[in-house]
Amino acid sequence: MGKDHYELIILGGGPAGLTAGLYASRARIDHVLIEKGAPGGQVLSTDWVDNYPGFPEGLSGFDLMEKMTSHAKRFDVNILTKEVVSIDLNDQVSKKIIFADDSVITCDALIICTGASPNKLGVPGEAALSGKGVSYCGTCDAPFYRNMHVAVIGGGDTAVEEADYLTRFARKVTIIHRRDELRATKILQEVVYANKKIDYIWNSRVIAIEGEKEVERLQLVDNDGNTSSFDVQGVFILIGITPNNALLPLEKLNADKWGFIQTDTETRTVVPGVFAAGDIRSKLMRQVVNACGEGANAVIAAEHYLKSKSS
Ligand code: NAP
CA-nearest of 204, 133, 147 to 175 is 204
Question: How many angstroms is it from 191 CA to the middle of ligand 1?
Answer: 16
Scanning 75-181, the segments in alpha helix (DSSP H) are: 138-141, 157-166
* Structure confidence at residue 40 (pLDDT): 87
| Distance from Cα 158 to the centre of ligand 1, integer Å | 6
- Distance (Å, rounded) from C-alpha 236 to C-alpha 234? 7
Q: What is the dihedral of CA 262, 265, 269, 271, to 10 degrees?
A: -150
- Return left, alpha or beta for 224; rule: phi > 0 is left, psi -120 to 50 is alpha, else beta: alpha
Helix (H, G, I), strand (E, B), or coil: what is residue 255? strand
Which CA distances in Å does 206 have to 118, 175, 231? 17, 11, 12
CA distances (Å), origin 308, targets 21, 24, 177, 303: 21, 17, 52, 9
What is the distance in A from the centroid of ligand 1 to the CA of 238? 7
φ, ψ for residue 8, nearest 5 deg: -135, 130
Nearest-CA residue for ligand 1 atom 14 is 239
Enzyme catalytic residues = 137, 140-141
For ligand 1, is residue 245 a contact (CB within 6 Å)? no
Mean pLDDT, 10 residues at a time, the chain of 311 residues: 90 97 98 93 82 94 94 96 96 93 97 96 97 91 95 96 95 98 95 98 98 97 98 97 96 96 98 97 94 98 94 73
Superfamily of domain 5-117+241-310: FAD/NAD(P)-binding domain (3.50.50.60)
Please tell me the CATH code under which domain 120-237 is placed: 3.50.50.60
Nearest residue by C-alpha to atom 23 in ligand 1 = 240
Q: Ligand 1 mean position to 157 CA, how many Å? A: 6
Listed in order, the ranges of the chain carrying CATH 3.50.50.60 are 5-117+241-310, 120-237
Torsion sign (Cα): 48, 51, 53, 55: positive
The residue nearest atom 31 of ligand 1, judged by CA position, is 157
- For residue 122, the ligand 1 atom closest to its alpha carbon is 18
Q: Which amino acid is at 137?
A: C
In the prediction, which pLDDT does 1 show? 56
Are the beta carbons of 246 and 276 closer than 8 angstroms? no
* Residue 57 DSSP class: T
Interior CA angle at 84 toward 82 and 85, to 5°?
Answer: 140
Q: Which three-class secondary structure state does DSSP give residue 296?
A: helix
| Beta-bridge partner residues of 5 | 106
**118 CB-contact burial (10 Å; exposed 0-12 / middle 13-18 / buried 19+):** middle
What is the DSSP pairing of strand 84-88 with strand 79-81?
unpaired
**Whole-number Å distance between alpha carbons of 13 and 15:** 7
Pairing relationship of beta strands 204-210 and 217-222 according to DSSP bridges: antiparallel
**DSSP summary character for residue 175:** E
